[in-house]
Structure formats: C-alpha cells, structure tokens
Amino acid sequence: MLQYLIKRSFVLPLYKCCNIKKFSTKNRLKVLFLGTDNFSVGILNALNQMKLTGGISELDVISSASSRIVKNKTILPPVLMYAEKNNLQSHCWVEAKKNRRLSSKYDVAVVASFGDFIPAPIISQFEKSINVHPSLLPRWRGAAPVIHTIFNNDRTTGVSIIEVSKHKFDVGNILYQIETKVPDGCTSDELLVLLMNKAASIMPYVMSHLDELFIKSKPQDESLATLAPKVSNLDGFINLQLLTCEVVSRIQRALPEKIGISVQNNGKRLKLGKIVEIEKDSFNVLNGYIDCLNTSDFPNGYCHYHKKKKTLFIKLKDGWIGVKNLHVECKKEISATDFYNGYMINTDGTVGETIFKSIEAT
C-alpha cells in the first residue's frame, strides 16, 4: 500500500509541480545520500530533480540495507532500486563502515531513514551533514516517529531538518522545520507519504541555504524530547477490558499492516482485519439493532455476527467495532462469514458463545 501511495505521488518532476526555478551553476554541491526505505526515496527523488536542474553536480547513494533473494529474484531496497533506475552511483555501506572512510569528494551528506548509526569518523569527513526526520523534533526521536504520532493522537506533526550528531540519533541542532496538520483518520502509511512530500518540497530551499541555516541553527529542547522506538507484535496485542473503540481503531491505523492488532480465541492468536465503521443507515436496519446490543450486558470481547452486513461485531469498553476479515494463527486470512461458519457454529448447528480474550504479553 505504501509503495502504491508513493508511486502515485511521483507524477511530475519536482521542479515542475512545485514551480522551482532552475539553479545556477555557481556553488553546485556534491552530495552523498544515505537512506533505505520508501520515505527516503522521496527525498532522493527531490535531490535528483535538483541535479537535473543544476543545483547538484554529483549525487551518489548508500543504503544500510542489502539486496535479498525472494523466489530466485534479487530484491533491492527501495533507495538502491531508485538509484539503479536513475543511473545514480551507489556504494557499499558495509565496506565504508568497516573502513570508516568515504570518498572526500562530497560537500554534503544528506541522511533520511538510513537505519544505522553513522560513526563520527565518517560524519567528520563532510563539511556539512543533515538529517531529514518526519516529526517536529525533539518530539518523537527514534525509528518510528510517524507511528507514534498516530498512536498518541497528535493533531500536528511535520518535518525537521537537523544537523547529524556524531554521538546519538536525532539530537542534532535544528536547521529548519515545517509543520502540518495530521489528517483525521489517516494511517501511518498515508501520513508518511504526506510528510515525504512535505520534505521533498523544502529540499531545494534547504540545500541552497545551508550556510545560513547552519549559522542560525538552534539546539533541541531536551525537556520536550519524546522517544519513538521500533514497534513489534506486542504493540498490537489490544486490551479488550481497557481500550475504547476509538483507541483500538487508532492503534490499528498506526501500526504497519504486517503487525496489525490481535486478540486471542481458544488459545490462538487472531489478527483482526481492517476495522469498518458501523453505520446506522437511513433504512434503520441497524439503528435499533445496535441500540439493543449496547444496552445488553455483553462482556468485553463478545462477538456477534451480522449476516446482512457480513460483519463481525466485537464488544469493547464503550461500544462495538466491526471487522469483515480475520487472520487465524498459522492459517490464511478468512472473511467474517467464514469465521462465523467455521468457529462460531456448533456441530449441532446452534450458534455458540464466542468471546475474544486479550493476549498476555510474555
């Protein structure tokens, strides 16, 4: 999904869609870009457009991830795939990190979602080094700032351009920031694409004003710092007793699809599909139905299948959520209808009581 959203965002060259003038040939920069994932591809694309318009004379690439073999095909990380398609020279990070040296020909290092700490001896080789980070630092330092932005229901976020620190991740002086609202109901993938485009739009200004930005840079306020560590399956184990419908929906929107949100059914992990809004339609099909469910004394985790809507309702602290698909542990994803027929109906044809449980973290 994220790759699709990003492909849709690369419709026109940056200088056309953002009305950026072509650069003069004075002070053209030699840039080394260090990145890995889809967010960093957006920044690299902006730099490559600057190369085409004259602001950058050389643009080389390093990725901390290496290629992998899937079904006898070599899969490159997104940044290296972009570099290959656009004839940009790439270098081996393992070798550079081992030797702690890179070519001295570069003026600037631009880092975006690189995924590995860059040793001080390497950073020291550049006259300037900047990091593009998808949050308003010092809020959400770490590997998963966008996920934690949605986790915590932040209403505003943004992009920070900071100096790369020789000692820690995401603590360098702030050179430039741009703020934006978090769209209602967006997922972390959707927000990441929005921030990628914001970051790409400011790169021409940042790269052409580096001297000024470094002079005016300000240290981060440590008293405002919050951390955004990597997430795992544990973050998707929802507590059916404590969490509201809104919070569970927000957790699902924040987490990567491969993690998702999970409960327990008969001792097995059950990953819930996308939560659907339970709408009260104009024909009053659900109006009284949902009111009846809400006034009944069902325990949290109680499941009720609605045949007409083909939706599984699940009771939470303050109401019901609906899902149309589920993924039973060690099996393929199935529809709510298949779950109802296979797991909720007894052998004698009667409907049994199904109550999901919270998964206890071990």
* Residues 219 and 243 both lie in one domain: no
Q: Is 128 helix (H, G, I), strand (E, B) or coil?
A: strand
Domain containing residue 253: CATH number: 3.10.25.10
Range of 176's domain?
Answer: 17-224
Domain termination residue (choose one: 171, 203, 224): 224
* Residues 283 and 242 both lie in one domain: yes
pLDDT tens for the 362 residues of the chain, in order: 555 455 544 433 443 444 444 444 357 899 999 999 999 999 999 999 999 998 999 999 999 887 655 455 667 899 999 999 999 999 889 888 887 777 778 999 999 999 999 999 999 999 999 999 999 999 999 999 999 999 999 999 999 999 999 999 999 999 999 999 999 999 999 999 999 999 999 999 999 999 999 999 999 999 999 999 999 999 999 999 999 999 999 999 999 999 999 999 999 999 999 998 776 543 344 555 666 666 568 899 999 998 888 999 999 998 899 999 999 998 999 999 999 999 999 988 899 999 999 998 66
* Residues 123 and 216 both lie in one domain: yes
Domain termination residue (choose one: 198, 224, 250): 224
Structural tokens at position 167? 């000692």
Q: Cα(280)–Cα(195) distance, rounded to whole angstroms?
A: 34
149 touches 135 (CB < 8 A): yes
Q: Cα(157)–Cα(148) distance, rounded to whole angstroms?
A: 11
Structural tokens at position 195? 């921030």
* Residues 279 and 200 both lie in one domain: no
Q: What is the DSSP string of 207-218?
A: HHTHHHHHHT-B
180 touches 195 (CB < 8 A): yes
* Residues 140 and 288 both lie in one domain: no
Total of domains in the chain: 2
Q: Is 106 left (phi over 0), alpha (psi -120 to 50) or beta?
A: beta
* Residues 240 and 190 both lie in one domain: no
Q: Cα(190)–Cα(90) distance, rounded to whole angstroms?
A: 28
Q: Cα(209)–Cα(186) distance, rounded to whole angstroms?
A: 33
* Residues 88 and 116 both lie in one domain: yes
Domain termination residue (choose one: 170, 201, 224): 224
Residue 8 lies in a domain: no
Sheet strands side by side (includes 261-265)? 261-265, 268-272, 325-328, 333-335
* Residues 194 and 316 both lie in one domain: no
Residue 4 lies in a domain: no
* Residues 205 and 282 both lie in one domain: no
Residue 110 lies in a domain: yes
